[in-house]
Structure 1
Amino acid sequence: MSMRGEFGPEGLPVRPELRHVITDKGSLRYDYPPTCPKCSSSDLRPQWRTVMRQPGVDCESCGYQWCLIDPRQQAPISTADTTAIGLKLIAQPPPTTAGVGQIRLYLDQGIVSEVDVTLCGVCRRGLIEHVRTEPSQRRRGFARTTVTAALVRGPSYSWATTTVNDDPIARAFWANFPRTAAGQPLWCEHMRTAWERTP
């Protein structure tokens, strides 16, 4: 069976909507989304996506297919296997407190999207500085995945981004993140100090 995601047979879209849940008996369970993002049907069938090495979902009503990833599951760069096949999130911590770190999304040993992110635990602020996706991999949900992975690192933080291009695609992208002040950076004193110390 060929993949019928919105991007054709070469690749399925990815949505950062999966949750890994530990049950009362200590086993792992996936929580899947309840409805299809295309037709809102609840007639969904979980599938294992061999190419991505991730769970996925098929909509029995409209035929839409997509892959899921848990944005909370981020391996530290020091222990991550970047040579493995499949889709994985890897976090690189900043060199200093309140400095700039990165979250990268790998697919088959290559980086398909990455985001620069700054967190200050004292001021409870987060800043997304740059989101980059390989041109050939755009419009598949990879940037949404890396940004969501950044946001889950500070769920109760005030979030903002640096300058955002004023075009319809950028506006539509940031509309997916209503609690993020797009284009309104909020650097705190700790972020500024870390930036000044960075060589």
Structure 2
Amino acid sequence: MSDSFAAAWATWDTARGEGQCPVRPGRVTGDERPARCLAGHDLALAGCSLGYNHTYRTSTVSCRVCQDLRHPRATWALIDPAAESQVMAGADVDGLALVVTPPPRPGVAGTIELRTSAESRGRVELLLCGPCRRAVAVALDVRPEHRRTGVGTVLVEAARARGAGCRWTTVPRGADAVARAFWCRAPLLGPDRPQPCSHMLTAGWSHPDMAEAGWVL
């Protein structure tokens, strides 16, 4: 694809709104597809169609009832949160991808970002210890212009996939109204009392809530 053609294609995609399409964790493989749309309609009754988002380079699902109602979120893109679908930092990013930056040393935090080649839309920061099977979600941050589009939900599921089999805890989710609204509808990773393992403590990670809970550091 020539540079001029690629630029024209990207402009056309943006004009159609593909670059602002909502996202959700998932994938389309055979019969594996969402049961309900973003408005809550049963897709077996509403009917749906599958497509492709050329900006994100991923499959889309459209609810036919929402399309008839001209709902702005009738179509959404599926981002596979599986660990094997995540790419390592430094790799070429094609479309919208989950990019992993491993911790610089054992026991400290790494990150997963949902990003394009040009921007990060949000990131989750997490501590993982394979030997102890412990995982701590340290922070979840979504850029303001991409909030309420599903970015946070995708990042939570990506973290869960990377820490599969671990016992999860999180730092307190805070009193901010936007954060509270998100966690009231998103699947929780674990209790909001961080419980790091000895390797994380030895590496120097701490949080004020651990002192309140009686941790001796």
Q: Give the drift of 1:52.
A: 1.6
- Letter of the aligned partner of 1:74 in structure 2? Q
Which of 59, 64, 76 does residue 63 from structure 2 map onto?
59
Distance between the aligned counterparts of 2:178 and 2:108, measured in 1? 29
Give CA deviations for 1:92-121 in whole Å, capped at 9, x if unaligned: 111122321110111342111111111011
Q: Higher strand fraction: Structure 1 or Structure 2?
A: 1
TM-score for the superposition, normalised by structure 2: 0.74
Q: Give the drift of 1:168.
A: 4.2
Distance between the aligned counterparts of 1:143 and 1:119, measured in 2? 19
Check if 1:74 corresponds to 2:83. no
Distance between the aligned counterparts of 1:66 and 1:158, measured in 2? 31
Cα 1:125/1:66, change in 2 over 3 Å: same
Which of 186, 191, 195 does residue 200 from structure 2 map onto?
191
- Letter of the aligned partner of 1:154 in structure 2? G
Distance between the aligned counterparts of 1:40 and 1:65, measured in 2? 14
Larger Rg: 2
Which of 155, 166, 182 does residue 157 from structure 1 map onto?
166
Distance between the aligned counterparts of 2:102 and 2:18, measured in 1? 35
- Letter of the aligned partner of 1:141 in structure 2? G
Q: Higher helix fraction: Structure 1 or Structure 2?
A: 2
Counterparts of 1:34-45 in structure 2, within 5 Å, are 34-38=35-39, 39-42=41-44, 43-45=47-49
Counterparts of 1:126-165 in structure 2, within 5 Å, are 126-165=135-174
State how many pairs are aligned.
Answer: 179
Cα 1:146/1:57, change in 2 over 3 Å: same
TM-score for the superposition, normalised by structure 1: 0.80
CA contact (8 A) 2:21 2:77 kept: yes
Which of 99, 104, 107 does residue 116 from structure 2 map onto?
107
- Letter of the aligned partner of 2:155 in structure 1? T
Q: Give the drift of 1:172.
A: 3.2
Across the aligned residues of Structure 1 and Structure 2, the Cα RMSD in angstroms comes to 2.4
